[in-house]
Structures are given as structure tokens and as C-alpha cells.
Amino acid sequence: MNFFQIIFYNLLMWFYKLNGYRTIVYNLHHDYFYEIFAPIYLELEKDPRIKIFFSYQQKNKNLLSYLKKKNEVKRLIPNQVARFIYFDLFICPEVTGPDFPYSRLKTKTLEIYHGIGTYNLYQKKNVLNRFAIHFAIGPKFNEFINFAYQNKFPKPKVYDIGYPKLDELFNLKKNDQQDFQTILYAPHWDKFGSLHKFEEKILLTLAEFDMKILVKPHNYLYFEYKNWEKRLENICAETENLILIKEANTQKLYPQADIMITDCGTTAPFEFSILQKPFLIYRNKKWFENNKNFIIEAELEKIAFSFEDLAEMQKIIEKIRNGMLEHKITQQRGEQQKLVKKYLYNPGCATEKATTTIRKELGLKKK
């Protein structure tokens, strides 16, 4: 079956090339990567000269179901088939394995990173240094790419792009008069995070506040820990003001929230900081043990309202709601602005930068 699919799609690519089209395949392992790509491919889809396909990891059945809701089936190709098809451009948002394009093909390979932090990239150097092109989100990515290719030739092309998925946040009007009615609880999936530490108790504690509580864990939680999805569904169904969000696109929730609660190992508070709203971080120093590349995460932890237990978390939220931390919130906003400026390229216009660069790599002039 795969053999006939490979022949069919290669004939289709050949037809497109003969007729002046360019083809792109986005390689996906998880649903949230589809959303990270969205600003780029939605803009590229407007160009009639470009044909876009999505390659999905075959063993991830939930991913295929998710993609079918968003796309025509003819655009979805199993990753073990797609790697043998001669696309013009292969785009990946993560470490990719055996689904990397077959070496004899001339498909260009592009790595688009899927988070602001770089600490986890250093252990994956041998996979990430295979790409011909890299889109750097900020200065720390240039440092990593230089490290990854220090003994490797040829060197890749590196474009200072920024993070397209965050562009829409820069266009929102910031509200200084927050009434603190909604909390976004966005825990990381890792074992050092608050959800694993406090389990359902942290949700019940948050539910005691007369506020709407949006519960949005990192989507990888459901892939790594199979039982958590049902556990969260049960407790949110039983508690009126706990609202479980399964939408993969977290940044859509940021404008709805007045306060974020999250963990050390995620850069979600960096994204939330674009809106200059207060955030709390569960302080667990195990995140930082023996890892010198926890740089952005460590700076976020320094400016956060940090807590080590649920009683401390409660007190901070109560003080914020009662106006007792206004001066510290103002200080935090100033630090948030500095961090965004320091670690992010092209704030608000990264999508335009990315799509212009992709057209250039495809040999297409901007219309």
C-alpha cells in the first residue's frame, strides 16, 4: 500500500513542478504543532503557486483524527510515505526521526522551533543539525545553532524570524484595569510540574475562588501520561467553575485570562508576558539542576510571583485580587517588556518575515 502511495504522490509532485507550482510538506508528530504552524501556512495558502501537505506520525491516531477535522484527507500523508516523496520544502517544528526526507531526494529541509526556550535542544543536537535552514526565534537560538554546527559542514542558512504564532498577541490592546475574574492554569506536562506534585488538589484549591478557572495543560501531557485526560475531565465535570480546555492553541486563551499559573519548565509565561498580565510559577528547583541552558526559564522564575505550596499560592492570588500587590505587578510588567524585547525577534511581524523567506527559498517572488 505504501509503495503505491509513494508512486502516486511522486507523480503528483512531478505534475505540480511541470506546471510551475511549489510543494511544501509540514511534518507533524503532535496536534499542537499544527497550531504553531497556523500563521505561516494560512498565509502561504493564499498563494495559488504553493501546494501544502501535512505529514502525520502514523502511530498517533489522535493526531490523524485532529488533522481530519482541519483538512481535506487528500492533503494528509503518513510520515513513512512522505519521506520518500520529492517535495520542494520539508518543514518540521521539532526533533524528527526516521521520517526525515530520504537522503537522495533534493527536498530542502527547514526547522521551525516550537517554543521560546532552548534548554531541551542541546541534547538533540545530532538530529537538529541535519537541517539546511533554521528559523531562529530569538538570539538564544542562534547560540544553539552555532553550537550544533560547530564541527559540522556545510553550515545551515539561519534566518532571524521570531515566533509567528505570537504575532496576534502584539496587536491586542493591553488592559491596565483588570478585574481579575479569570485564572488560566497552564501546567507543564513534565514530572516536576505542579499538576504531578499537587494532583487534583491544586484544581480544587483554585475552584475555591469566585473566579472562572481555565484548565489548559500542555497537550503532550495526554500523550505521555494516558490517565490524566480522564482525571481532568472528571474533576472539571464535577466543579462548576473549572473549565477544561482541549484546544491545542494555548495563545488563544491568553486574552481571556487575567492571571496565569504555570510551572518553571515552560515558557508559556513568556508568551503571556506580551499582554503584561501577572503570572505565578510553581517553584521547583529540580527543573534547573545540572542544566546551564535554563536561561529564559530562570529569568521568568525570577520575576514571577512564585509559590512552593498551595497555601502560598492562595495568599498571592488573594493579595492580587485585593489590590495589595499593585506595585509589584507594575514592576513585573516592566520586566516582562524587557524579556520580550531581549529574547524575541520581529515582535508582531514574524509571520510576514517567515512567509517572505519561504517564498524566497522556493524561488517565488512575492506577488
pLDDT at 350: 97
Q: Where in the chain are the domains?
A: 2-163+346-361, 169-343
C-alpha cell recorded at residue 350: 514574524
φ/ψ (deg, to 5) at 232 = -70, -40
- The per-residue pLDDT for range 240-278, each reduced to its tens digit, is 999 999 888 888 899 999 999 999 988 899 999 999 999
CA separation for the pair 235, 196 (Å, rounded): 15
Per-residue confidence band for 58, with pLDDT thresholds at 50, 70 and 90 = confident
| Burial annotation 280-296 (CB, 10 A radius, 16+ → b, else e) | bbbbbeebbeeeebbeb
Mean pLDDT of 134-141: 98
Instruction: List own/partner pairs for 317-322 with CB under 8 A and 24 or more apart.
Output: 317/183, 317/209, 317/259, 317/280, 320/180, 320/259, 320/278, 321/180, 321/209
CB 304 within 8 A of CB 267: no
Quick check: 275 and 236 in contact, CB under 8 A?
Answer: no
pLDDT tier at 361 (50, 70, 90 boundaries)?
A: very high
Q: Which CATH number fits domain 2-163+346-361: 3.20.20.70, 3.40.50.2000, 1.10.10.410, 3.20.20.140?
A: 3.40.50.2000
The residue with cell 510571583 is 305
pLDDT, tens digit, 9 for 90 and up, residues 77-104: 999 999 999 999 999 988 888 899 998 9
Residue 122: pLDDT band by 50, 70, 90 thresholds?
Answer: very high
> Residue 62 above 90 pLDDT?
no
Determine the longest span between alpha carbons in the chain, in angstroms.
Answer: 67
* Section 333-352 average pLDDT: 97
Q: What is the pLDDT of residues 162-213, one digit of tens each?
A: 999 999 999 886 665 677 999 999 999 999 999 999 999 999 999 999 999 9
- Give the architecture-level CATH label for domain 169-343: 3-Layer(aba) Sandwich (3.40)
Which pLDDT belongs to residue 316? Answer: 98
